[in-house]
Amino acid sequence: MIKAFKKGLIGFGLLGVCAAGISGIAAVEEAQASHLFRTYKRETPPKPPETPEAIAEGKKIYEKRCWYCHGIEGGGDGPAARTMFPKPRNFTRNEYKVRSTTFGSVPTDEDLFRIITSGIEGTAMPFWYTISEKERWQVLYYLKTFNNQFKESGAAKMVSLGGGIPSSPESIQRGKELFKETKCFECHGEDGRGNGPLTVALQTEWDMPYRARDLTKSWLFKGGNTIEDIYRTVSTGFNETPMGSYLEKLSDEDRWHIAHYVKSISKDMTSDVVIKATLLETEELPTDTSDENWSKAAVIEIPLSGQIIASPRLWTPSVDALRIRALYNEDEIAFLLEWDDSTNRQEDVFRDSVSVQFPTKIPDSLKKPYFAMGDSGGAVNLWVWKAYWGEGFGSVIEAPETEPGEAYELNAKSFNKISRQPPESQNITGTGVYQNGRWSVVIKRPLKTDDAKNDIQFEVGRLIPIAFAVWDGSNSDVGSQKSVSSWYYVNLEKQVPKTIFAYVLVAIIMGASVELWFIARLRRFPPKEEE
Amino acid sequence: MVNKRRTYLMIWVIFAVICLFLFLKYASPKVFQILMAKGHPMPTPSTLMMWYMIMGVLAGLVYATTSNQKFVDFLSFLLPDRGPVIKSLLQKVLFVSFPVLVGWFVYSWSLPGAASPVELRIQHPTLPQNYEKLENPFRHEDAETQRLCIEEGKILFQTYCRPCHGSKADGNGPFANAFRLRPINFQDPGTIATVVDNYLFWRIKEGAPGLPSESTPWDSAMPSWKDDLKDDEIWKIIMGEYDTAGVMPRQREKLE
């Protein structure tokens, strides 16, 4: 009997190995997909001599891989540059940003090597650790020939970037004070969302390409987001930008304090596929964006990209993430949508807006309408909220901080088949607040409506496809030129039924009886070794 | 009895299974973070965890039955005897924890939850017939013309395809993170290297809307370029794309 039992076990074991192998493959893919953003590599290997041959080799590599964006003459004006913002580096000027050298000097070879190796987050510059170290050195020797300053200035003046003090609540507090005293907020904004008055003026009145970094988004730090990287950026500044060097203005210790403060406000994206709508047992769902009930709902942040499906496309989106919370009660569902926007200024047709998209009915299978505005096989229901637009056609206006805006429902079957629902079918309400570089918008609708053909009807416990779009008026977003997301799901969370405890009780009693039976049997017929 | 009896065998097996669980849950995310040089821990996915745990339990049982004596020892832990206090204590813990564990499993299984569904799709559906016969018009041109076509194609690729598929055609463009169905990595030998170049012509021209439903067209962000690019430009992009990715299209078998 024992032998047969053993054989069975081995068979099971083999089956288990195969199954684990298959799910192992799936697991690796799952893990990679969750790895949204890359990390920086710091170390640089010893460099080969900078000979004319090495430069000639570098030219070949440059003209195979780099010139499409950086231009054949290194002017940052390659043919592909037009679908990019931020623009590619112009090597003929000294506009190098990530350096360990003093403000206005050219970077060291190691600085360049590191950027070529790791790329620059939030820009089109990819990581090139895929080519050999030798090739990376050669190509950087070549791109140095575009700018004479590399030759003339001789050895670059390095900034000593040693030491460092550990992060502590006191250090962060001191950094916060310094952030005020040194007027960092004038560009980066009081909450660090890149919405300072100087940035807004440069962007809207001077039309300059400078955008102060949104310090709350750790994935957009050009020079890297480790504490050493932030400290280096504060110390050396970014050449040819309003971001100056604070090497002389602040003591070494104070620069660490600021770096610790910046690090403390920068957050990673916490993304998920299912947005959980929490049940709120109140009469009314909050219409106020600052209502404390919102803290009961889980926050999900999802990445957005430019709309590139249909012409006209948006190659240079300015909104790259949307934070979502959802609440529901017996009658209604409400979404709180938040995104960072450095300005709420807008022009005539270009208005800050957000939209939520659902299929017109919950799909029974995996099949959904097309994620970008539906298709002929499946229509979508869109809820749009648009910021205020008053008088002053053609001029730059500033939306008031709190405003009802305009909320309306659409149906679409493609980018050119969009229809606004008639007034009697409009069921949503929306309000928005712009504060400290962030739009917060609440959109509400009853769970069920009379127009079941064109409106999504919510059901508790189901996975309902949902997608989003955001328009930034100051980026001239309008119509199909918007930031978009893929399909996600929203789930109106089912409450834990009371019957679950009965099940658990039954399970425990059954488990205990099986156990008692087994032990009783074992004790009556104690196992004996077969001789 | 000459052999030393291993009266605690059952406890050791249970201990090993618990260790396995703790390793998978807490240690392995860190280990894989270091091994794969990632900036974040790599948690063990739940399905994999379940399989490893099943295997762990089975391995423990297999070990306990490798000899008859072991099996007898294994079971006899449950028998009453006048052993040390620690043994009777462990027996009691075991008696209580088994039904509790069963109850906990039932509780966690019947909790209402919404995991995202598994969205399986066929990456390479069959090429439609009307695209089968097409041929790259630059295929028989001389080497110099072909080089120019590749260069022109690369410029177009870097302008229109790069935002998602990346400068290196590795599926890592700046927009790639935003699409749950990630843009395809053309350097991967399982992608464009396994298809003939007409296949790419079809995909670029028709995009997601041209996919059959088993390939989940509703999730694909691949645009249909037929209104924006001329056929010649698409062929050039294909040549530039293969060159950038460093792979060759599959050669068509001779039908004769």
Domain ranges of chain A: 52-152, 169-265, 274-492
Find which of B3, B9, B30, B51 to mutate to test the A interface (most A CBs within 10 Å of its CB).
B51
Reported confidence tier of residue A209, pLDDT bands at 50, 70, 90: confident
Asked if B221 lies within 8 A of A23 by C-beta distance, the reply is: no
Facing residue for B110 by CB, picked from A13, A503, A512: A503
Q: Residue-wise over A52-75: b if at least 16 C-beta within 10 A, else e?
A: eebbebbbebbeebbbbbbbeebb
Give the pLDDT score at B109. 83
Furthest-apart CA atoms within chain A: distance in Å: 101
Confidence at residue B2, expressed as pLDDT on a 0 to 100 scale = 43
- Give residue A106's identity as a one-letter amino acid code: V
Cβ contacts of A168 within 8 Å, gap of 6 or more: A260
DSSP state of A170: H
Q: Measure the CA–CA gap between B129 and B250, rounded to whole angstroms.
A: 18
Q: What pLDDT score was predicted for residue A163?
A: 73
| pLDDT grade for A155, boundaries at 50, 70 and 90 | low
pLDDT band at A44 (very low <50, low <70, confident <90, very high): confident
Over B108-150, what HEC string results? Answer: HHHCCCCCCCCCCCCCCCCCCHHHHCCCCCCCCCCHHHHHHHH
CATH of domain A52-152: 1.10.760.10
pLDDT at A156: 65
For residue A416, what are its two tokens? 């050119």
Q: Average the pLDDT over B157-163 and give the result.
A: 96
A508 CB neighbours in chain B (<8 A) are: 99-100, 102-103
pLDDT of residue A5: 47
CB contact under 8 A, B76 and A527: yes
* Chain centroid offset of residue A481 CA: 19
> Please, where are the H alpha helices in A195-246?
197-204, 227-236
* Half-sphere exposure of residue A101: CA atoms within 13 angstroms, side-chain side: 20
Q: How far is CA A421 from CA A377, A384, A449, in A?
A: 19, 12, 13
Query: Residue A162 and residue A171: Cα distance in Å, rounded?
Result: 18
The size of the A-B interface in CB pairs under 8 A is 220
Token couple for A332: 């209604």
Nearest CA to A335 out of A306, A298, A380, A381 is that of A298
B58 with A496: Cβ contact below 8 A? no
Q: Does A520 touch chain B (CB under 8 A)?
A: no
Mean pLDDT of A196-205: 84
Computed over every residue of chain A, the mean pLDDT equals 86
Contact (CB<8Å) A20/B105:
no
Give the pLDDT band of residue B143 (cuts 50, 70, 90).
very high
A146 versus B42: which is more confidently predicted? A146
What is the residue-wise DSSP string for A423-486? GGG---EEEEEEETTEEEEEEEEESS-S-TTTS----TT-EEEEEEEEE-GGGT-BTTBSEE--
Helices and strands per DSSP (H, E), number in chain A: 12, 17
Q: What is the pLDDT of residues A54-103, one digit of tens each?
A: 999 999 999 999 999 999 999 999 999 999 988 999 999 988 999 988 89
C-alpha distances (whole Å) from B165 to each of A70, B162, B183 are 18, 5, 6
Q: Is the pLDDT of residue A1 over 60?
A: no
pLDDT of residue A323: 97
| Confidence category of residue B91, pLDDT binned at 50, 70, 90 | confident
Domains assigned to chain B = 9-110 (no CATH), 142-245 (1.10.760.10)
Give dist(CA A360, CA A357) in Å, integer: 9
Contact list in B for residue A37 (CB cut-off 8 A) is: 39, 177
- Residue A296's nearest CA partner among A256, A257, A335, A325 is A325
pLDDT at B5: 63
- Whether residue B168 is predicted with pLDDT greater than 80 in this model: the reply is yes
**DSSP readout, B16-53?**
HHHHHHHIIIIIHHHHHHHHTT-SS--PPPHHHHHHHH
Give the residues across from A276 on adjacent strands. Answer: A491
Helices (H) and strands (E) in chain B, counts: 10, 0
Q: Say whether pLDDT at A31 is over 50.
A: no
Cα–Cα distance measured from residue A158 to residue A155, given in angstroms and rounded to the nearest whole number: 9
Decide: A320 and A304 in contact? Cβ < 8 Å.
yes
Q: Please tell me the predicted confidence (pLDDT) of residue A487.
A: 95
B76 and A528 in contact (C-beta within 8 Å)? no
Interface residue A21 vs chain B (CB under 8 A): no
% residues pLDDT > 70 (chain A): 88
The closest CB to that of B75, out of A9, A12, A522, belongs to A522
Answer whether the bond into residue B174 is a cis peptide, omega within 30°. Answer: no
Looking at chain A, the whole-number percentage of residues with pLDDT higher than 90 is 61
Q: Do domains A169-265 and A274-492 have the same CATH topology?
A: no
Query: What single DSSP character describes residue A330?
Result: S
Do residues A226 and A218 touch, judged by C-beta distance below 8 A?
no
Predicted confidence (pLDDT) at residue A347 exceeds the cutoff of 80: no
Superfamily of domain A169-265: Cytochrome c-like domain (1.10.760.10)
Distance CA A388, CA A237 (A): 38
Q: Which pLDDT value is given to residue B1?
A: 42
Token pair listed for B19: 């260790």
Name the residue in chain A with its Cα closest to that of B176: A305
pLDDT tens per residue, range A430-460: 998 988 899 999 999 999 999 999 999 999 9
Amino acid B204: pLDDT: 96
pLDDT at residue A19 in the model: 45
Q: How far apart are CA A251 and CA A233, in angstroms?
A: 14
Does A35 touch chain B if contact means CB atoms closer than 8 Å? yes
CA distance B76 to B99: 20
**Residue A79 and residue B158 in contact, taking contact as beta carbons nearer than 8 Å:** yes
Average pLDDT, chain B: 88
Q: If residue A10 lies in a helix (H) or strand (E), which one and from where to where?
A: helix A2-34
pLDDT of residue A393: 42
> Is pLDDT above 50 for B169?
yes
Confidence of residue A6 (pLDDT cuts 50, 70, 90): very low
What is the per-residue pLDDT for A402? 72
Residue numbers in A near B213 (CB within 8 A)? 367
Answer whether residue A337 shows pLDDT above 80.
Answer: yes
Mean pLDDT of A363-384: 92
Asked if A463 lies within 8 A of B181 by C-beta distance, the reply is: no
Confirm or reject contact between A507 and chain B (CB < 8 A): yes
Write down the CATH number for the domain with range A274-492.
2.60.40.1190
**Do A10 and B9 contact (CB within 8 A), yes or no?**
no
Residue A6 near chain B (CB below 8 Å): yes
Query: In chain A, which residues have their Cβ closer than 8 Å to the Cβ of B101?
Result: 511
> How far is it, in rounded angstroms, from Cα B212 to Cα B200?
15
**pLDDT for A36 beyond 60:** no
